[in-house]
Chain A
């Protein structure tokens, strides 16, 4: 069961990521990114991270991607024009990406002999356990992120408003 679910949603995630690269219009890329993020939420559930799965859907697939689609539709930029770089960039770039993936895969597979396997019966990390650590040991970083988000909101408003406007 776990294997089947993993394969289905891993393929969804990979297909969404590839589609993000192939699509010419930003709105199609944004929608395929939503597919990637939702399948990652299911993978988090398979790994027993129930709170993160919900946060992934609400924060990433919900809030952040709504922001993206909103901006894409607001600016209405249209199809992106394809400007291919030099031939050197093309002949070097794709092998370089393949080498990057090969390095990652080799490192993971070499270290991976010591890792265990994951099954559905491993149990979940409950939100209770998570919040005990978050609100007892890591209270200060948590409060700092709320200040960070407040500053980010102010920064976003300051950046996006018109210069001659009265705010």
Chain B
């Protein structure tokens, strides 16, 4: 039994995860949950990179995902440090209360 799956299904899954990440970015009110939604979007894009790498038998697509992972690790470290210092300065992570720069 060796069934096949069309490549579009993987791409549709990737698009659905990305959209859920966008929705989370917009409706979440905790800074750290918003940051997790960004990670979800990065993961969704990685899935489509891997699908296309498989589709065109290109190793470079997988290398790109590798680099995205490295940059995401760096981004998570710096982003969480910023979140810690915001919490220390303001005592909250609710984005509605961290709006000093809003016009």
Contact = CB atoms under 8 A, between A and B. Distances in A.
A108 B15 contact: yes
A133 B58 CA distance: 11
B74 interface: yes
Contact of B10 (A36, A47, A63, A134): A47
A115 B72 CA distance: 29
Contacts of B50: 43-44, 47, 49, 52
Nearest to A46: B5
Nearest to B52: A115
Contacts, number: 235
A125 B29 CA distance: 41
B29 A112 contact: no
A42 to B, nearest CB: 11
Nearest to B84: A160
B15 A105 contact: yes
B27 interface: yes
Given A21-B23, A93-B26, A115-B7, A63 B73 contact: yes
A166 to B, nearest CB: 17
Given A21-B24, A80-B30, A1 B2 contact: yes
A105 B24 CA distance: 19
Tell me whether chain A's interface is mostly helix, strand or loop, or mixed. helix
Contacts of B73: 59, 63-64, 149, 152
Contacts of B77: 67, 152-153, 155-156
A120 B66 contact: no
Interface string B1-39: 111111111111101111111111011111011011101
B17 A64 contact: no
A49 B2 contact: no
Interface string A4-39: 101000100110011011000010011001001100
B78 A152 contact: yes
A33 B40 contact: yes
A80 to B, nearest CB: 4
B12 A105 contact: yes
Interface string B70-103: 1111111110111111011000111010000000
Contacts of A125: 53, 59, 62
Interface string A133-167: 11000100100010011011101110110100000
Given A63-B73, A75-B32, 7 more contacts: A33-B36, A36-B40, A43-B13, A71-B84, A80-B33, A125-B59, A145-B71
